[in-house]
Amino acid sequence: MNASLLARRRVAITGIGCVTPIGTGVEALWQGLRAQQSAVGPATRFDSSIYRSRCAAQIDGFEPTDWIDAKRVKRLDRFSQFAVVSSMLALQDSALDLAAMNRERVGAMMGTALGGVGYAEEQAARFAQHGLRAVDATLALAVFGGSASCNMAIEFGVSGPNCTNAMSCASGSMAIGEAFRQIRDGYADVMLAGGSEAPLATLCFGAFALIRAMSTRNDDPGRASRPFDAHRDGFVMGEGAAVLILEEWEHAKARGAKIYAEMSGYGTTNDAHHMTAPLPGGAQAARCVQMALNDAGAVPTDVDYINAHGSSTPLNDPTETVAIKRVFGDHAYRIPISSTKGYYGHALGASGAFEAAISALAIQRGWIPPTVGLETPDAECDLDFVPGSGREVQANVVVSNSFGFGGINSALVLRRA
C-alpha cells in the first residue's frame, strides 16, 4: 500500500437500514436472503394488464406511520418515506448517538433513478380529472430527487455534506462511494448513504415496458428475474431503499461500535456509448472495477466474492461477465459471484444500496447468497455465479458492481473489519 493510501482516513460501516421486498430492517433482510426465494409476483399496484410485462417485486404492507409521525408522513411521498425509514433503522442498528455529535460533521447522500416521479404521475392524474385544487400542495417539494437526502437531513438535524444523485441504476452505489470519500478526505465524520426508489406506478412501469427492457414471464413471476440464466428475458422492476451508516474508523472504534465491514474503495466511469446498451467488451465497466481496487489498495487475487450487477437482461449479463474476466483474468474463474436481483428484482437506484448492504453482511456473517433464478447457465456467462444454494465463505475482500442506463458504472470494495 502506498503512502497516499496510508494517509487517508479509514471508513467503517456501522449500521444498515432497509425497506425491501424480502424484508424491512437488517435482520429481516438477512432472513430473506437465507430463505433463498424470489419475492417477485404479479404487479398489482396498478392495472398491469395493458403491458407485455406484468411482474414486479412489491413491498406490500409498508406502513410509514409505524416509524414516522402521521402529520410528517403526509409531507413525504413513498420514495422519501422509504429513505427516511431506512435511515431511522440504520441509525438504530448503529447505536449512534447523534445528540452527542457535531451534526455539521454528519451528512446524507442518496441515489435514485426516478425520485418522486411515481408520485408526480398520481398527482397528474388528479389534476387531469379535478383541476389544480385537487393536487397535493407538497408536490413541488416531493417530486425532486434531492428530497430524499434533504428530508433525511431535516429528520435528524444533520447539516454536513448532502446530495442525491440521479445516475440511474448505479446511483445508490455512487451515493455510498461519494459519502465514503467525504469521510476519507476529512469533510465529514459520519454519513448516511444509500438509495431509494418507488417506481411502481403505471406510467413509470409502462415506460420500461415500452422499451422491452422487462421480463414477460408473466405466467411464472417467481422465476422471472433470472440473472446469468440462458433463458433470461429482461429485468423485473422492484422498489425500496437501503441506507448504510458510514463512520470514520477511529470514531467508530472509540465508541465501541459494531463494524460490519470497512469501506475501502470506489470507482466510477462512463461507457460514453449508448443510453441503454452497455459498451461491447465491457472496457469501461472493467476500468471502473480496477479503479475501485486501486483505490482500496487491493489486487484482483485479493477478492473473495463479487456481488454482481446481474440485472437479468440479455445484454448486461454477458457484458459484465466479460468485464470481470478483463479485470481478474484466470482468478475470475475461482471467485464465487452472485447477483441478488433474483430475490427482489431491480429497484433501479436503490439496487446498488441493497447490494452494498448485502456485501457487508456477507463479510460479517460468512455466507454468500446464491443467484436465485439461475437454473440453466448461459454459455457466455461461464463463471461461478453460485446457482442453487448459498455458500459458507469467509470473504475478506468483496466487490459490489452497479451499472446503469447512460453507460454509468460504479464499483465498491469492502474489506473484513
Q: What is the pLDDT of residues 330-374, one digit of tens each?
A: 999 999 999 999 999 999 999 999 999 999 999 999 999 999 999
Just list the catalytic residues: 169
375: left (phi over 0), alpha (psi -120 to 50) or beta: alpha
6: left (phi over 0), alpha (psi -120 to 50) or beta: alpha
The per-residue pLDDT for 6 is 53
The per-residue pLDDT for 178 is 98
**pLDDT tens per residue, range 90-129:** 999 999 999 999 999 999 999 999 999 999 999 999 999 9
- Please state, rounded to an integer, the average pLDDT across all residues of the chain: 96
Q: What is the mean pLDDT of residues 277-297?
A: 97
Rounded to an integer, what distance in angstroms lies between the CA atom of residue 37 and that of residue 14?
Answer: 27
Domains of the chain: 3-415 (3.40.47.10)
**pLDDT tens per residue, range 120-165:** 999 999 999 999 999 999 899 988 999 999 999 999 999 999 999 9
Does 2 have pLDDT greater than 80? Answer: no
User: Structure pTM?
Assistant: 0.97
Q: What is the mean pLDDT of residues 285-304?
A: 98
**pLDDT tens per residue, range 370-394:** 999 999 999 999 999 999 999 999 9
The per-residue pLDDT for 7 is 76
Does 269 have pLDDT greater than 80? Answer: yes
Rounded to an integer, what distance in angstroms lies between the CA atom of residue 361 and that of residue 340?
Answer: 13
**pLDDT tens per residue, range 163-198:** 999 999 999 999 999 999 999 999 999 999 999 999
CB 24 within 8 A of CB 12: no
The per-residue pLDDT for 3 is 44
**pLDDT tens per residue, range 25-53:** 999 999 999 999 999 999 999 999 999 99
The per-residue pLDDT for 1 is 42
The per-residue pLDDT for 392 is 98
Q: What is the mean pLDDT of residues 1-7?
A: 51
Rounded to an integer, what distance in angstroms lies between the CA atom of residue 281 and that of residue 382?
Answer: 15
